[in-house]
């Protein structure tokens, strides 16, 4: 198996990482984090989520964050827009890429957003239409692609079906998320083999949580399958609030250390990334959830 010469990392810390923090992070600190990650060289920084502040209070200032960050040419700042109201707000602050999400588990879909998988995908139709009219790119997420906290193992055929639906709707890329971090390398290879029969391999991405310590191995396995886009979170921020024991997203520092050690280019300045991780960890009052950062402290 030949590894890709370069990998695109989608930094999800400012949104996916911070959204479940109980103590509110100030807008100024979020802006500072996004700017630091931009300066570190990420091609994409997930900067906000236009959801109801009632459900996700931490993301209530996303419009302010997107208005205040220093944007850099060639860098995208995708934001989550689960409904048309969120999409319209995102448009008002100049968002050029949005993200929508589905699940491969019916139970997870019901518990998370109170509707079936099919219903959740139908809700995105007007967003896809409006995005096309506004020349806005849409990225799709699929949750629970290997395991579900309620159903256990997930059939790869179901993941492929949901992924194809999002792809056919117009998503330019589908990020497959091991939401509770239970996957192992061979399962990951089987997953991408199944999904790539319905969605081109170069339009798939990997999103791995490190609950069972498998995320780096799973990224490596996915690269062997031809995947060259991965989501990661600075300082290992985040986790699934519905998944018992889920320790969070794989840390960007650990991923970059591994990729650079394998001779795979990322365009990310490792030292600036370490600084960004330590900055936000100081803000929230705990050590980075990154083995590499702590080893080099």
Task: Write the pLDDT tens digit of every residue in 60-94.
Answer: 999 999 999 999 999 999 999 999 999 999 999 99
- The Cβ of residue 172 has, within 10 Å, a number of other Cβ atoms equal to 11
Distance of CA 111 to the CA centre of its chain: 20
Judged against a pLDDT cut of 80, whether residue 255 lies above it is answered with yes
| Alpha-carbon span 278 to 292, nearest angstrom | 12
Judged against a pLDDT cut of 70, whether residue 289 lies above it is answered with yes
- pLDDT grade, residue 248 (50/70/90)? confident
* pLDDT reported for residue 241: 54
With pLDDT > 70 as the criterion, what percentage of the chain qualifies? 97
The pLDDT of residue 239 is above 80: no
Residues facing 115 on adjacent strands = none
Confidence at residue 114, expressed as pLDDT on a 0 to 100 scale = 83
Indicate if the alpha-carbon torsion angle 119, 121, 127, 132 is positive or negative: negative
Tokens of 30: 């979020």
Q: What is the mean pLDDT of residues 222-241?
A: 91
- Render pLDDT for 104-161 as a digit per residue (tens, 0 to 9): 999 988 887 788 999 999 999 999 999 999 999 999 999 999 999 899 999 999 999 9
CA dist 227 and 222 (Å) reads 5
Please choose, from the candidates 270, 274, 291, the residue with its C-alpha nearest in 3D space to the C-alpha of residue 282: 274
Mean pLDDT of the chain: 94
**CATH number for the domain whose boundaries are 8-295:** 3.20.20.70
Give CA–CA dist 61/53, Å, rounded. 8
pLDDT in tens, 159-184: 999 999 999 999 999 999 999 999 99
State the number of CA atoms in the 13 A half-sphere of 296 facing the CB: 17
Q: Virtual CA dihedral for 255, 223, 190, 123, nearest 10 degrees?
A: 70
Taking the C-alpha atoms of 42, 80, 85 and 27 in order, what is their torsion angle to the nearest 10 degrees?
Answer: -60
Going by C-alpha positions, the residue among 181, 192, 110 that lies closest to residue 150 is: 110
- Whether residue 12 is predicted with pLDDT greater than 70 in this model: the reply is yes
Token pair 């200032």 is at which residue? 61
Residues with a known catalytic role: 240
Would you kindly state where each structural domain of the chain is located, as residue ranges? 8-295
The pLDDT of residue 111 is: 83
Rg (CA), the chain: 17
């Amino acid at each position: 198996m030949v590894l890709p010469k370069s990998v695109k990392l989608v930094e999800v810390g400012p949104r996916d990482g911070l959204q479940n923090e109980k103590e509110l992070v100030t807008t100024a600190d979020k802006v500072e984090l996004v700017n630091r990650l931009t300066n570190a060289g990420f091609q994409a920084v997930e900067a906000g989520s236009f959801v109801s502040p009632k459900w996700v209070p931490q993301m209530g200032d996303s419009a302010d964050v997107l208005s205040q960050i220093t944007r850099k040419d060639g860098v995208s700042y995708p934001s989550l827009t689960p409904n048309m109201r969120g999409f319209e707000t995102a448009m008002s602050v100049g968002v050029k890429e949005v993200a929508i999400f589905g699940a491969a588990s019916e139970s997870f879909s019901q518990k998370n957003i109170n509707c079936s998988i099919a219903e959740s995908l139908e809700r995105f139709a007007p967003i896809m239409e409006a995005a096309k009219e506004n020349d806005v790119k849409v990225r799709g997420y699929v949750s629970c692609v290997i395991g579900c906290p309620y159903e256990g193992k997930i059939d790869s055929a179901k993941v492929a079906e949901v992924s194809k639906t999002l792809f056919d709707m117009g998503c330019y890329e589908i990020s497959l998320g091991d939401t509770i971090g239970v996957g192992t390398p061979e399962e990951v290879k089987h997953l991408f083999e199944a999904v790539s029969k319905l969605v081109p391999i170069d339009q798939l991405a990997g999103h791995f949580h490190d609950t069972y310590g498998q995320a780096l191995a799973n990224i490596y396995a996915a690269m062997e399958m031809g995947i060259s886009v991965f989501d990661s979170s600075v300082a290992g921020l985040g986790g699934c609030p519905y998944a018992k024991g889920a320790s969070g997203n794989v840390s960007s520092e650990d991923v970059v250390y591994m990729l650079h050690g394998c001779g795979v280019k990322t365009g990310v300045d490792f030292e600036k990334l370490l600084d960004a991780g330590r900055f936000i960890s100081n803000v929230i009052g705990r050590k980075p959830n990154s083995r590499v950062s702590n080893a080099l402290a």
